């Protein structure tokens, strides 16, 4: 299981996440911030839980590239 979390309100719209992990992130046309696809939102944290183990590597690259460190990725 791969768990990806995004603090969307702190996003600065740099687009790195969408470049490194386009299967999981998109940039909103409305406000220019990152959107974690198929995620649930709770108290400002958008979380995606997926059994797809191939999600870890691109999402980890997106997390490391994020200049404001608002993406976390765990594999359990």
Q: What percent of the chain clears pLDDT 70, i.e. is strictly above it?
A: 100
Q: Identify the CA nearest to 8 among candidates 20, 37, 23, 19.
A: 37
**Tens of pLDDT, residues 7-18:** 999 999 999 999
User: Are 48 and 42 in contact, with CB atoms under 8 Å apart?
Assistant: no
pLDDT band at residue 47, thresholds of 50, 70 and 90? very high
Q: Enter the tokens of residue 12.
A: 């600065």
Q: How many domains does the chain have?
A: 1
**Tens of pLDDT, residues 17-38:** 999 999 999 999 999 999 999 9
Range of the domain at 64: 2-75
CATH of the domain at 69: 3.30.70.20
Q: Give every CB contact of residue 68 below 8 A, 6+ residues apart in sequence.
A: 10, 11, 12, 14
User: Are 6 and 42 in contact, with CB atoms under 8 Å apart?
Assistant: no
Angstrom distance (rounded) from CA 21 to CA 37: 11
């Amino acid at each position: 299981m791969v768990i990806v979390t995004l603090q969307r309100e702190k996003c600065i719209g740099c687009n790195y996440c969408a470049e490194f992990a386009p299967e999981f992130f998109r940039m909103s046309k409305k406000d220019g911030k990152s959107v974690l696809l198929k995620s649930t939102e709770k108290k400002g944290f958008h979380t995606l839980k997926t059994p797809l183990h191939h999600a870890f590597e691109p999402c980890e690259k997106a997390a490391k590239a994020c200049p404001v460190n608002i993406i976390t990725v765990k594999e359990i």
